[in-house]
């Protein structure tokens, strides 16, 4: 298996060369962009890349200086100058030649290898620091480390005080979640290893007190950075603050850690969604990250909102844009830190751990399948034959844990990227996913379904819009009107508006297809012992999509809608009634349509009469009639 992709180069036109400002007298020309990777010598390490960047583009510092000195009266002209500088400075960093063209030598596991350290043993006695530990992926990571690495010393969680709750109260609430039920019953003492660190990813020095910073710097040897804003429609300023500045501040803290052996940064496979083939490398970003940070620091937010569509270019949202810039910034800022990047595709409910189907949010496909199960979602723009690249959350977490183990135990000059996806090894297309989902929501219906679940995937926008009006909003307004007459609070139109917004965010990903190369993930799998492969499963070839989607539906039924399995028989009876009502409605709609056409067309009426007459004649020829 080849890993030479890390040192490949490509030539392409600058993606934002069309972004011209009045203050820039010369248009931005096309330039060669190169793939960036971790093959830089770690002696001066990734800081060599930063120095090359600064020397190759003198505008980096000047644009920031201009930003800091700009007065409020010259904001518009300063914005133009800074944008021109940002475009000009987006030239890819030149990389030193590689000695062997490989990202990292991967030796397959050998039973006679006495130097092999099992993953659980590697984490024994170690302390881990996690950002984003209260999020969907963070919770699964904490639970997995406590359950499968029982000798781990401590897990420090960065937690932000929220809605008047202290971090200790938020931690208690987190550990009382159903996710930790088996640990509470079987290993309750393990939960005491989780220690809250009060902080905020949007604040300077992550909002962590000096005392807690010293505690982390003395004790932590593995860091998992999963904190991010995953809202696709997030304002650029907040998205940059969390996804980019938060990463930069964490790296600054990691540089002070005395015994850091691995920093795992969680990105997204879609950070390079402006290209079809995505290898496990860092691509040159459209702008220098420092210039974008300068912009959000001194430009008014209303001007930023106007510039956002032009800044993100071919990317669909600020999330993928800032995630791409964060990777490049990590490459520059990490220096000689032992870093790896994990890029999951669409993260969905758990496959097996801690139990099948666990999910705690309506993000991504979960919200749409839930709306389908309720009978409120029936049509969407989607290319049904394209791959739906989604990956269960426990697969991602197991890969992160193994990637940290590999980064720490096999020191290398390379920054490794792992594309955690299913499209290459075990693909499922959208039509198959929807088919499995439809079968499962009918077999395990939700309580209080509004209509029988049906739906279609379309690529004809006018037809989709027409169906959306007829099947989504028209029934919603009728139901809300009935609710008002009965003195109840209307809610269906509001729900449909939220569904429409979610569909709009996901449409970009459902109407395009990518090929995410996952050679590093596959190679890492073969370095694990058979026992570690059983404990830390991230081989996506083991996914049975039919069974997985069924458990997915049962999971959001139980954990999101809080509906117990005991209610299934009554729900199935209701589903049967809705089925007959649905068929009756279709029959009535056909008869009314036919009646309308017959009343408007004499020719159609004559044809129908002729058809009935011929049918009766044929019937008389049958002996038993």
Residue ranges, the chain, pLDDT below 50: 1-105
Range 165-186 burial, b when 16+ CB lie within 10 A, else e: eebeebbeebbeeebbeebeee
Give the separation between CA 527 and CA 514, rounded to whole angstroms: 27
For 119-361+387-427+514-539, CATH gives: 3.40.50.720
Residues 526, 524: Cα–Cα separation, whole Å: 5
Q: What is the pLDDT of residue 249?
A: 95
Q: Among candidates 535, 586, 210, 587, which has minimal Cα distance to 397?
A: 535
486-495: long-range contacts, CB 8 A cutoff, minimum separation 24: 492/376, 492/450, 495/371, 495/376
pLDDT at 79: 40
Q: Which residues contact 480 (CB under 8 A, 6 or more apart)?
A: 490, 491, 492, 493
In the chain, where the domains are located: 119-361+387-427+514-539, 570-621
The pLDDT of residue 624 is: 58
User: Burial level of 157, CB count in 10 A (0-12/13-18/19+)?
Assistant: buried
What is the C-alpha to C-alpha distance for residues 368 and 374, in angstroms, rounded to an integer?
10
Which helix or strand (DSSP H or E) is residue 131 part of? strand 127-131
What are the b/e assignments for 26-44, b being 16+ CB within 10 Å? eebeebebbbbbbbbebee
pLDDT confidence of residue 106: 60
- Predicted pLDDT of residue 68: 37
Rounded to whole angstroms, the Cα distance separating 28 from 113 reads: 55
Neighbours of 541 (CB within 10 A): 9
Contact 462, 379 (CB under 8 A): no
pLDDT at 229: 85
Query: Are the beta carbons of 333 and 289 closer than 8 angstroms?
Result: no
By three-state DSSP, how is residue 158 classified?
Answer: strand
């Amino acid at each position: 298996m080849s890993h030479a992709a890390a040192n490949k180069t490509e030539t392409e036109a600058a993606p934002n060369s069309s972004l011209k400002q009045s203050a820039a007298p010369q248009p931005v020309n096309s330039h060669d962009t190169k793939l960036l990777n971790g093959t830089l010598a770690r002696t001066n390490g990734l800081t060599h890349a930063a120095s090359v960047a600064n020397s190759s583009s003198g505008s980096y510092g000047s644009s920031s200086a201009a930003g800091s000195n700009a007065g409020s009266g010259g904001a518009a002209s300063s914005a133009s100058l800074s944008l021109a500088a940002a475009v000009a400075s987006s030239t890819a960093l030149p990389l030193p030649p590689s000695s062997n063209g490989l990202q990292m030598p991967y030796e397959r596991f050998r039973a006679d290898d006495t130097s092999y350290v099992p993953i659980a043993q590697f984490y024994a006695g170690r302390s881990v620091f996690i950002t984003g530990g209260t999020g969907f992926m963070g919770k699964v990571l904490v639970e997995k480390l406590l359950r499968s690495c029982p000798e781990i010393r401590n897990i420090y969680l960065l937690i932000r005080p929220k809605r008047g709750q202290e971090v200790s109260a938020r931690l208690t609430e987190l550990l009382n979640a159903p996710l930790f039920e088996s640990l509470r019953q079987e290993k309750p003492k393990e939960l005491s290893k989780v220690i809250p660190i009060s902080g905020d990813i949007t604040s300077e020095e992550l909002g962590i007190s000096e005392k807690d910073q010293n505690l982390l710097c003395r004790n932590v040897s593995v860091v998992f950075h999963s904190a991010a804003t995953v809202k696709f429609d997030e304002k650029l300023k907040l998205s940059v603050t969390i996804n980019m500045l938060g990463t930069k501040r964490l790296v600054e803290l990691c540089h002070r850690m005395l015994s850091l052996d691995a920093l795992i940064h969680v990105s997204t496979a879609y950070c390079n969604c402006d290209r079809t083939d995505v290898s496990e490398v860092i691509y040159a970003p459209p702008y220098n990250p420092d210039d974008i940070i300068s912009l959000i620091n001194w430009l008014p937010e209303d001007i930023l909102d106007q510039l956002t569509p032009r800044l993100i270019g071919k990317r669909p949202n600020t999330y993928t844009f800032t995630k791409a810039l964060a990777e490049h910034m990590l490459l520059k800022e990490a220096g000689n830190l032992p870093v790896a990047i994990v890029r999951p595709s669409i993260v969905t409910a758990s496959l097996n751990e801690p139990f099948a189907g666990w999910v705690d949010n309506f993000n991504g496909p979960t919200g749409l399948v839930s709306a389908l199960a309720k009978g409120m979602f029936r049509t969407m723009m989607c290319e049904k034959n394209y791959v739906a690249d989604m990956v269960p959350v426990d697969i991602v977490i197991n890969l992160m844990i193994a990637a940290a183990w590999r980064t720490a135990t096999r020191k290398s000059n390379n920054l490794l990227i792992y594309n955690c996806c299913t499209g290459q090894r075990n693909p499922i297309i959208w039509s198959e996913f929807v088919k499995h989902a439809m079968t499962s929501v009918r077999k395990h219906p939700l309580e209080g379904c509004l209509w029988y679940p049906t739906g279609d995937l379309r690529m004809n926008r006018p037809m989709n819009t027409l169906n959306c009006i007829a099947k989504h909003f028209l029934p919603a307004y009728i139901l809300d009107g009935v609710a008002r007459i009965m003195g109840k609070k209307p809610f269906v139109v509001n729900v449909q508006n939220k569904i429409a917004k979610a569909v709009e965010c996901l449409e970009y990903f459902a109407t395009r297809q990518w090929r995410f190369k996952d050679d590093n993930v596959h190679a890492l799998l073969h370095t694990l012992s058979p026992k570690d492969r059983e404990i830390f499963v991230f081989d996506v070839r083991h996914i049975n999509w039919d069974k997985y989607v069924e458990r997915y539906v049962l999971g959001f039924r139980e954990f999101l809608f809080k509906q117990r399995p005991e209610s299934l028989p009554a729900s199935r009876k209701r589903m049967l009634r809705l089925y007959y009502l649905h068929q009756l409605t279709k029959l009535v709609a056909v008869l009314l349509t036919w009646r309308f056409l017959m009343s408007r067309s004499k020719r159609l009426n004559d044809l129908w009469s002729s058809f009935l007459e011929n049918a009766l004649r044929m019937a008389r020829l049958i002996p038993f009639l």
